[in-house]
Structures are given as C-alpha cells and as structure tokens.
C-alpha cells in the first residue's frame, strides 16, 4: 500500500504536467520559435523557468548531502546562486537586444555572432554539449533514489534506475513536441511543487528537528568551520567552488537560453529580482534541514539521503510530497538540458556544417529526441557504475566555466576577437581536464584552488594576450562598434554591417 501511494503520487503529478501542457499547447511555425518560445514570456514564468533549471533535483540530494556530511560548506550553493542572479541582471540588456535583432537561438549562436566566427560557434557548442551530457545522465540516475525510497524496499536499485529513465523519456515526448515553450510552461508547474511546497516542507522539518533534540548545539563543532590554512582541502577551496559556480552559472546552455525566452529586458531584470528571495529562502531552508539532521545516526551513515530520511518522520504522505519536489526539480533541469542540447546540436553544429540557418522546427524536434535517446542509453549502461560518471561530471563543471572569458568579456569588452575566443576556450578546457585528473578535489600547491579556477587563469591570460596580439581590422572594429550601438539604442550612421546572423568568417 505504501508503494502504491508513493508511485500513484508521482503518476498524478506527471498527469498534471501533461494536462497543463496539452491545454496550453502552441504550434511553433519556425525553428526560432521552437528554440526561444517566441521570446514571449513574462516575469513570473521567467522566474519559475530560471529557478527550475538552476535548482535541480540534486539540490535535495548531493548539495543537501554535502551540508549533512560536511557542514556549512554546503551553503556555498546559496552564495554562488546569489551571484548568478546578479549576473542575470547585468546580462539582460545586451543579450536580449542582440538576441532579438539577430534572431539568436542559443548561447553558441550569440558567441558566433559576437565574434563573427563559425569556429567560435562550433567550439562553444561542443564544450557545452560535452560538459552537459554527463549531468543529464546523472539526473536520470539520481531520480532512481526517488523510486527506490517510494518503493519502501520493494524495488531493487537497478530497477529504480530503469524506472527513472522510463519516466524521463516518457516526459520528453511533450518537450520534443512543444520545445522551449513547453519547457517554460512545465517549469511553472514543476517549480511550484519543487520550490514553494519544497520550502514549506523544509521549514516544517526544521521546526521538528529543533523540537526533537537536533538543534544547532547538537551539530558537530567541526561542521561550523570552513577549510583553512593547513587543511587537506586548502584555504582557497571554498572561494574556488563559489567562484566556479558563479562564473559558470551562465555558461550552461540551458541557463543561458532563459535570456532569449523573455519578452523584454525589463522582464529579465524583474525575473532577477523575483528569483533572489525564492532561491535564497529555498536553498537556505534545504541546507538548514541537512545541517540540523546531521546529528541523526541514519543521516550520518547516508548523508545524500537526508531529505528522505528526515521526511520519513511524517510517514508515507510526507515522503511522497518530498519525492514529488525532487521529481519536479529534476524534470525541470533535465528537460531544459535536453532541449538546449538538442537545439544547440541542430542550430550550431548541423546548421554550421550545412552552411545555412535552421528554419524548420522539425529539425530541432529530431535533435532533441536523438539527444534524449543517447542519454537514456548512457544512463542504462552506467546504471550500476556511477562513480566514473561522477568524476566526469566534476570535470564537466570545471570545464563549462572555461566559456566564461569568451562569453563575458565578449559581451562587455569590445577588443576580444575570434582568435582569442577559440584559443582561450580550448586552452582552458584542456587545462581544466588535465588538472582535474591529477587533482580531483583541489590543488595543494595552489592553496586549494580547484582545477577550474586554475585553468581560468590560463584561459583569461590567453584571451587577453590574443586580443591584443591579433587585433581586428577596420571593418571588424566597425562591426563590433555597431553591436554596442544596438543595446545602447543608437541609430546607425553607416550601412548596417551586421544584419546577417550567419557568422560566415
């Protein structure tokens, strides 16, 4: 009966999402509409879409597990999330204005336009896809914990993985059909459960823990300290993971596309304002549950299970609600990733190779379906061996942040050029991968810097050196100047050099 209640709760939740999608369905006429939802959504949808992508189901598992197993260092999630929201406001005007004028559909599309380079577009797209695929596979596998708990011991771990893969693949039918518009609308439903109901559950669990002998005084004293001088991780480790999270926030393709789905710059800035308290309160509440619950023997033995262990105090009903929160957050993140990867594959790889802009939304649907199938196969064949994927995922996060110099300096600094962008992305990604293999956690002789931050130093140096050593010609300089005039609202005094988004050089 308990398993029936739990699985029925998930089925009803999925049914609700599908009903909402079917009632709000809209047929996209062009590839651009399919990829950007017609740039039509307002602040509330923008807030829920950003949060449902930014706060994945692993917040309830891995991030909560870090706080339960190591203490306040787990709260770094909240610190870099606040930085990510601030960056959203800073990026709003140039990205939205360029996106609307040049019909940009993806992050790689924007970089290709900014640097007028197919090579930049291909490299950026390749890094985004390589870095994101392991996270999608792990997302499918992490959902298995939900079905394992809701079976109350009746379903084996491997079978739970197969169920999670099946659920995500089934859910992707509607993502493939409705594209980014479907993703944003489902984010609204999934986000209400994951973050509003999730926060209420977390607050209730905090009250219960405080009232039942699991207060702040019962938390191990070492859980209130961060790695310092002489520690195994190094004094710069905490700063490094916060910096990597903040700088890498808008490097993820699924996050960046949120800037293209908004109907105006004002909407993006309002989204940033609205997202701040939601992310702050939700992230802090979940981490506090984990910190306080660290004094529970069962949690100490299995920190990653802290959300379900604490929710079990309320019986099958509360466990089911807690599980729905994880499912909602996971579906939002995985769905957005699959949509972004499929769109980027079609738009920035197939489109570049074929030498023309994609206009038929069917191409995007095929690409999203193909990426979903690849990830499902990957999750199936790694169902019993996740350790290697975890390492690869760590490399991925250190790798995706290597887009940051080309992306941010390209948006805010005129001098950067295609040579600098390609050289910096490749050198940074390669350096990060090598250092991650040699130093999986932190680099002792650099004071605890992570591989990603150390590689960023190389990346940035290469970008700046190449920008000065290989300056653009007069035509390229004028083209870049006109780009800046777009988001400053200045009328062109010369022939428009940048109407075409084909990025042919």
Report the pLDDT value the prediction gives residue 500, as an integer from 0 to 100: 45
Q: Which ranges constitute the DSSP H helices of 117-257?
A: 118-150, 157-191, 198-211, 237-248, 253-256
Q: Please report, rounded to a whole number, the percentage of residues in the chain having pLDDT higher than 90.
A: 65
Asked if 115 and 418 touch (Cβ cutoff 8 Å), the reply is yes
Strand, coil or helix: 153: coil
Could you tell me the pLDDT band of residue 277, with boundaries at 50, 70 and 90?
Answer: very high
- Cα–Cα distances (Å) from 234 to 109, 112, 230, 250, 446, in that order, read 38, 38, 7, 27, 8
Q: Where are the domains of the chain?
A: 2-19+26-385
Q: Is the pLDDT of residue 216 over 90?
A: yes
pLDDT by residue (tens digit) across 374-408?
A: 888 888 877 765 444 555 666 788 999 999 999 99
The CA-to-CA distance between both ends of the chain, in Å, stands at 63
- How far from chain centre, in Å, is Cα 456? 19
Asked if 198 and 311 touch (Cβ cutoff 8 Å), the reply is no
Q: Is the pLDDT of residue 501 over 90?
A: no
Asked if 451 and 241 touch (Cβ cutoff 8 Å), the reply is no
Could you tell me the pLDDT band of residue 486, with boundaries at 50, 70 and 90?
Answer: confident
Could you tell me the pLDDT band of residue 289, with boundaries at 50, 70 and 90?
Answer: very high
Could you tell me the pLDDT band of residue 428, with boundaries at 50, 70 and 90?
Answer: very high
Q: Tell me how many degrees the CA angle 81-86-92 measures, rounded to the nearest 5.
A: 125
Exposed / middle / buried, residue 230 (Cβ in 10 Å: 0-12, 13-18, 19+): exposed
pLDDT by residue (tens digit) across 316-357?
A: 999 999 999 999 999 999 989 999 999 999 999 999 988 888
Mean residue pLDDT across the chain: 89
Residue with the two structure tokens 């893969």: 165
The DSSP line for 325-385 is HHHHHHHHHHHHHHHHHHHHIIIIIIHHHHTS----HHHHHHHHHHHHHHHHHHHHHTTT-
Tokens of 242: 């916060």
Q: Is the pLDDT of residue 197 over 90?
A: yes
The fold of the 2-19+26-385 domain, in CATH, is Hydantoin permease (1.10.4160)
| Residues 6+ away with beta carbon under 8 Å from 133 | 341, 374, 375, 378
Tokens of 182: 């479907």
- β-bridge mates for residue 262, sequence order: 41
Report the pLDDT value the prediction gives residue 385, as an integer from 0 to 100: 58
CA–CA separation, 389 and 395 (whole Å): 10
CA–CA separation, 159 and 33 (whole Å): 38
Could you tell me the pLDDT band of residue 229, with boundaries at 50, 70 and 90?
Answer: confident
Of residues 52 and 359, more confidently modeled: 52
CA–CA separation, 251 and 14 (whole Å): 30
Tokens of 500: 């075409």
CA–CA separation, 440 and 418 (whole Å): 31
CA–CA separation, 148 and 154 (whole Å): 8
Q: Which of 352, 23, 307 is nearest to 145 (CA)?
A: 307
Q: Please report, rounded to a whole number, the percentage of residues in the chain having pLDDT higher than 70.
A: 94
- Give the mean model confidence (pLDDT) for residues 102-115: 95
Report the pLDDT value the prediction gives residue 390, as an integer from 0 to 100: 52
3-state secondary structure 28-96: CCCHHHHHHHHHCECHHHHHHHHHHHHCCHHHCCHHHHHHHHHCHHHHHHHHHHHHHHHHHHHHHHHHH
Indicate the helix (H) or strand (E) that contains 298.
helix 297-301
* Structural Rg of the chain based on CA atoms: 22
Could you tell me the pLDDT band of residue 497, with boundaries at 50, 70 and 90?
Answer: very low
Could you tell me the pLDDT band of residue 3, with boundaries at 50, 70 and 90?
Answer: confident
| Residues 6+ away with beta carbon under 8 Å from 27 | none
Report the pLDDT value the prediction gives residue 495, as an integer from 0 to 100: 37
Exposed / middle / buried, residue 196 (Cβ in 10 Å: 0-12, 13-18, 19+): middle
- Give the mean model confidence (pLDDT) for residues 279-298: 96
């Amino acid at each position: 009966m308990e398993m029936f209640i739990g699985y029925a709760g998930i089925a009803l939740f999925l049914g609700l999402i599908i009903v909402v999608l079917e009632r709000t369905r809209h047929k996209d006429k062009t590839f651009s509409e399919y990829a950007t939802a017609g740039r039509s959504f307002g602040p509330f949808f923008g807030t829920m879409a950003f949060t449902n992508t930014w706060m994945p189901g692993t917040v309830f598992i891995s991030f909560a597990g870090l706080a339960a197993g190591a203490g306040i260092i787990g709260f770094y999630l909240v610190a870099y999330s606040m930085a990510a929201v601030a960056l959203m406001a800073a990026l709003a005007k140039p990205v939205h204005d360029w996106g609307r004028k040049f019909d940009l559909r993806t992050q790689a599309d924007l970089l290709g336009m900014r640097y007028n380079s197919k090579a930049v577009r291909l490299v950026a797209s390749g890094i985004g896809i390589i870095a994101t695929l392991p996270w999608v596979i792990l997302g499918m596998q992490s959902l298995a914990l939900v079905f394992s708990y809701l079976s109350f011991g009746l379903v084996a771990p491997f079978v739970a993985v197969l169920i999670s893969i099946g659920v995500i693949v089934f859910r992707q039918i509607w993502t493939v059909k409705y594209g980014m518009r479907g993703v944003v609308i489902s984010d609204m439903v999934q986000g209400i459960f994951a973050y509003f109901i999730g926060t209420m559950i977390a607050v209730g669990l905090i009250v219960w823990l405080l009232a039942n002998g699991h207060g702040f005084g019962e938390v191990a004293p070492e859980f209130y300290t961060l790695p310092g001088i002489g520690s195994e991780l190094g004094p710069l480790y905490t700063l490094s993971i916060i910096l990597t999270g903040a700088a890498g926030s808008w490097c993820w393709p699924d996050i960046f596309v949120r800037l293209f789905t908004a109907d105006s710059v004002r909407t993006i800035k309002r989204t940033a304002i609205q997202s701040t308290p939601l992310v702050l309160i939700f992230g802090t509440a979940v981490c506090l549950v984990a910190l306080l619950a660290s004094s529970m023997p069962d949690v100490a033995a299995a920190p990653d299970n802290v959300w379900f262990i604490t929710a079990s105090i309320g019986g099958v009903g509360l466990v089911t609600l807690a599980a729905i929160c994880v499912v909602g957050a996971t579906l939002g993140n995985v769905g957005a990733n699959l949509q972004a990867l499929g769109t980027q594959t079609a738009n920035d790889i197939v489109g570049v190779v074929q030498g023309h802009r994609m206009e038929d939304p069917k191409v995007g649907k095929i690409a999203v379906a193909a990426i979903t199938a690849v990830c499902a196969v990957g999750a199936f064949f790694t169902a019993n061996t996740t350790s290697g994927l975890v390492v690869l995922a760590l490399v991925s996060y250190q790798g995706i942040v290597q887009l940051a110099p080309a992306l941010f300096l390209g948006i805010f600094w005129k001098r950067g050029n295609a040579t600098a962008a390609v050289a910096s992305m490749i050198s940074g990604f390669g350096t990060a991968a090598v250092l991650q293999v040699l130093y999986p956690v932190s680099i002792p002789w650099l004071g605890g810097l992570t591989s990603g931050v150390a590689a960023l130093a190389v990346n940035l140096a290469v970008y700046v050196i190449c920008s000065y050593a290989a300056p653009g010609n007069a035509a390229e300089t004028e083209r870049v100047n006109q780009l800046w005039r777009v988001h400053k609202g200045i009328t062109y005094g010369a022939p428009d050099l940048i109407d075409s988004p084909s990025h042919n050089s």
